[in-house]
Amino acid sequence: MQTFSGQTLELIEYAAELLAKARHAVVLSGAGLSTPSGIPDFRSEGTGLWSRDEPLEVASLTTFRTAPEQFFRWFHPLASQIFNAQPNPGHLTLAELEEKGRIQAIITQNIDMLHQKAGSRHVIEMHGTLRTLSCTQCYQQQRYENYLPAFLTHGTIPRCPHCGAILKPDVILFGEQLPQKAWYEAQLEARRCDLMMVVGSSLEVLPVASLPMQAIDRGAHLIIINNSITYLNVRADVVLQEDAALVLPAISKRVQYA
């Protein structure tokens, strides 16, 4: 059984109270929510993806266009971790809160599909998805299931069945714009919510990092659950520098009594 300090318990109680009173609560999730599921984040020293690789050299649109083999070499171990990962208690709690009508949407910076695996339905994927791949020549879209086994087992680069060109996972690489539909929906949710809960995001990547500011500028409450400090800690009603997979179930348990 997880034990928290007295101060942390008070913050958990207050977060549960805010969530219970919210009419339209929205979650913004980042890589820190998925690290307990075995997926590395980007910036943690020593373990983060960008502590080992230069992002513009391995995960940019330019690299994909000029040296796709280099991208797929880098992506292979990450893909294996993502597709073998399972939702942790944090993901499961958010899905349960959505089912109970406590939260209305999840805006995620993650591409790991763990929210959907956990049962969440209204998920806005800001950085794209691994469920599909698109041809770089004829632009036809393909489902990942047809290519994943060969890629994970043999490193086979996926190619279009129609024209033979390389297929690109439908995730946003450096140098690409965010999906317009997702960005529009995310801004709409940020502007209409009366509570935003940031979970596992350092709020360092724009423009997604601006969404909580859009919410609080319109009077919304803000809860931040993240291991590191964010630029909006000073504006938040509740800041919990704890493991989201442990804190979220504790908040949810108290919501029914708040």
The pLDDT value recorded for residue 46 is: 46
58 and 147 inside one domain: yes
Q: Which range (62-66, 85-89, 234-238) has the least confidence?
A: 62-66
> pLDDT at position 44, please?
47
Same domain, 223 and 137: no
Tell me the mean pLDDT in the region 22-34: 97
Beta-strand pair 128-135/195-199? unpaired
| Burial state string for 95-132 with b = 16 or more CB within 10 A and e = fewer than 16 | bbbbeeebbbbbbbbbbbbbbbebebeebbbbbbbbee
Give residues with Cβ within 8 angstroms of 252, minimum separation 6.
Answer: 16, 93, 96, 97, 102
Planar angle of CA 165, 171, 175, nearest 5 degrees: 90
The answer to whether 33 touches 245, Cβ cutoff 8 Å, is yes
With a pLDDT cut of 90, the percent of the chain lying above it is: 78
Q: Measuring CA to CA, which residue among 210, 7, 189 is closest to residue 107? A: 189
Residue 122 shares a structural domain with residue 157 = no
Strand-strand pairing, 195-199 and 141-143: unpaired
In which domain, by residue range, is 225 found?
1-39+87-127+178-258
Q: Which of 245, 225, 247, 252 is nearest to 90 (CA)?
A: 245
Q: Does one domain contain both 28 and 116?
A: yes
CATH of the domain at 70: 3.30.1600.10
pLDDT tens-digit readout, 49-70: 544 555 657 778 998 999 999 9
In this structure, the answer to whether residues 77 and 148 fall within a common structural domain is yes
The pLDDT assigned to 50 comes to 42
Looking up residue 207, the CATH number of its domain turns out to be 3.40.50.1220
47 pLDDT above the threshold of 80: no
Question: Are both 162 and 142 inside the same structural domain?
Answer: yes
Q: Which of 91, 115, 127, 221 is catalytic?
A: 127
Q: Where are the alpha helices (DSSP H) in the chain?
A: 6-21, 49-52, 55-58, 61-66, 68-84, 89-99, 114-118, 148-154, 180-192, 211-216, 244-255
Quote the number of domains for the chain. Answer: 2
Prediction pTM value? 0.91
127 carries an active-site annotation? yes
Residue ending a domain, among 108, 141, 171, is 171
